[in-house]
Amino acid sequence: MIISERKPLDEIRKIVEPLQRFFLIGCGACATVCKSGGEEEVFQLQEWLIDQGKEVTGSVVIDEACHLPRTGRDLRHHKSAVQEADALLVLACGGGVQSVSSQTEKMVIGGLNSVFLGNVKRFGQYEEKCSLCGECILNETAGICPVTTCAKGLLNGPCGGMEDGRCEIDSELDCAWHLIYERLKQQNRPGVFARRVPAKAWSKSCKPGRHQLKNTGR
């Protein structure tokens, strides 16, 4: 999921300062799990805005703010409250903010910083595991991503700085390539070490990414 955190209130204060009325939007997916843009956080932001002397015309937590049709549907449903607002303040990832801004002429303010695509380690703790490179080699690396978990994103074994299985960039962390080697050894297969991995085709992760399901079964 997309890991996000609320922007510092001082930053939000400066943006909302010249405006008076706001419609608030949260996201029921990632931002709710991260506790950055769920019902509770939308309510907290509403209380904070009122303390700042602002008005809140209404609010909604969209199931998935990055889902364009759902965002459009919910904005239509709250049409008059949206119309009354000077701006829409969105507690969702960058995708969600743009989903909203594509559906309205109103000023849209993003209240969160999107940090990375992450896994939940435990409540409130997240780890980046995938950089969305578009050319996945996990099947050869025993399920450990060197593009993301090696500090240098190396593709053909460790750098010269690894020491006792630890990363030279951060000695608190295991070297990703040490972990890959140990796990492949345990599985008794050469995996990625059977070949020389060519330089990554970064064109596969060219921005903006587009993808369409080939077999929808329809």
Residues that bind ligand SF4 (CB under 6 A): 130-133, 136-138, 145, 147-148, 150-152, 154, 158-159, 161-162, 167-169, 175-177
**Closer CB to ligand SF4, residue 142 or residue 145?**
145
Give alpha helix (H) positions in 86-151.
Answer: 94-101, 146-149
d(CA 186, CA 25): 48
- In this structure, the strands spanning 2-6 and 112-122 are antiparallel
d(CA 78, CA 33): 24
For the bound state, the minimum distance from the C-beta of residue 176 to ligand SF4, rounded and expressed in Å, comes to 4
For the bound state, the minimum distance from the C-beta of residue 160 to ligand SF4, rounded and expressed in Å, comes to 8
For the bound state, the minimum distance from the C-beta of residue 69 to ligand SF4, rounded and expressed in Å, comes to 27
**Closer CB to ligand SF4, residue 61 or residue 147?**
147
d(CA 135, CA 146): 12
**Closer CB to ligand SF4, residue 102 or residue 119?**
119
Q: How many CA atoms lie within 13 A of 190 on its CB side?
A: 5
d(CA 157, CA 142): 13
For the bound state, the minimum distance from the C-beta of residue 124 to ligand SF4, rounded and expressed in Å, comes to 23
**Closer CB to ligand SF4, residue 68 or residue 137?**
137
